Structure 1
Amino acid sequence: MLCAVLFALVTWQVAAGGPLLALDERLGRAVFRPHTPSVIAEAGADLGAMVPALPVLAAALCWSGWLGHARWRGRRQGDEGAPPGARPRWWLPPLVAVAAMTAVPALVVPLKLWIARPGPLGPAENYGWYPSGHAATAAVAYGAALLLLLPHLRRALVRRTAVVCVVLLNLWVGAGLVRRGYHWPLDVVGSWFLCGLLLWGVACAVRWSTASRDTGEAPEAGADPEGGTDPEGGTDPEGGTDPDTGADPKTGADPKTGADPDTGTAPDSREN
């Protein structure tokens, strides 16, 4: 919800020409260096293009899907001590990640056409510069890839390192876009807020899939969850009686007549 509120605030300031817009353009002109060659800034801006971002996401989709399916098959066969009746939801996070990536152009392009904000290098034909498509592509592609792979990374240090690398990568992309004059700072920040909503959906799918995999339990073999009887021993765990004959499994006596199954006589007749 916080990302939605911040995105609405930034979009309102850009569309209405609010006071935040003047500060944004002043900061952008201070950072913008069109005549200074910067290989690092240009490389960062290029990382937000479809060509490097989509293959990274595709590789993460394939890897996480393969690991999730393999783990589910192992659990069905009783491996790792997991219940064989767990429902397969390994496909959910990759599916939501693909939907989030597909939503990027579906959301960014109409906003560009509607707001039509001129860029640092001047207005563009038929569309504007807010929000940044490159920043949105990088945020969703690399962010979704991280969320898909985190459940499969066992060491905490590796997970923390991966998170830091993805955050720094997106900062590099945003700084490169502003430095080279392709976008204003608010173009990049607005894209990050918008993509925060999309990545929240991917995170929820990953959490739901992981929780269902870890907490899914099936009844133990040989136990009837309703009647409380053991199919192998045929005994009632509470009453200790045979559910078919009603006999006591320890003495073998009939609970109604008290007859001994070996002699067929009741205790009173043996005394007389």
Structure 2
Amino acid sequence: MNVVDHHPALLQIFETTAIAAGREILRIYEEGCDVALKDDKSPVTAADHAAEAIIVDALRRLTPDIPIVAEEEISSGHVPGDLGDRFYLVDPLDGTREFVNRNGDFTVNIALIEHGAPVLGVVYAPVRGWLFIGGPGGAQEVTVEHDGTVTARKAIACRTTPDQMVAVASRSHRTPETDAYLKDYSIADCISVGSSIKFGLLARGEADIYPRFGRTMEWDTAAGDAVLRAAGGITLTLDGKALTYGRRDQADDVDFANPDFVARGKL
């Protein structure tokens, strides 16, 4: 059996791998660690590297022929060649600033991309115990204890956009452009939260819109975008097209950089 052609089986591997990575992140979170700066001045910790090693090792053992685009490997110069029609995007610790600031708003992200679209994804926030899953069968939220035990599982879906919307915005990267964009909508509340948790709030019907202006990378969004699409939402570029993945040789930006986008619940 080719596990990638059986999406439920692969999603189960994503889930168990994300939980294992989250357990290691929590261990380091509780013990503390040094913080370094990468070339782009973004922070990186031992937790980023340890979690990525767990995820990459699991995916390479399972499907050695599928390329992996993983944040820390890319940062260290290990860039895959031809991606083909199917590849993984991995952000082992999305929200490293939130990890360093110890507010709990960080996630483990694993996604499968097929023909430029995120078709499978898991987003795990280990401090909160929230694990979001998305695939062709729909979206789920799983409750996970700090020891990795799964205690609950339920289907989730985006809500139909109400007249008075709830927005979500980045805790660490909110921009004036975000506030200007939201002025064109009837916004009842705006929740500031870190990492790809924002996609999870959209997917479970607690928020309706997430505009993002400024630099993000594909590994930041792919898993959350997969969950959101499985829940009935969509992530669009500013010209109204679905956000795609696998951008390389961009004239105006680096490989795997996203354009500005707006993630929405059910329209």
Question: How high is the TM-score relative to the length of structure 1?
Answer: 0.21
- Higher RCO (Cα < 8 Å, 6 or more apart): 1
Radius of gyration: which is bigger?
1
Higher helix share: 1
Higher strand share: 2
Question: How high is the TM-score relative to the length of structure 2?
Answer: 0.21
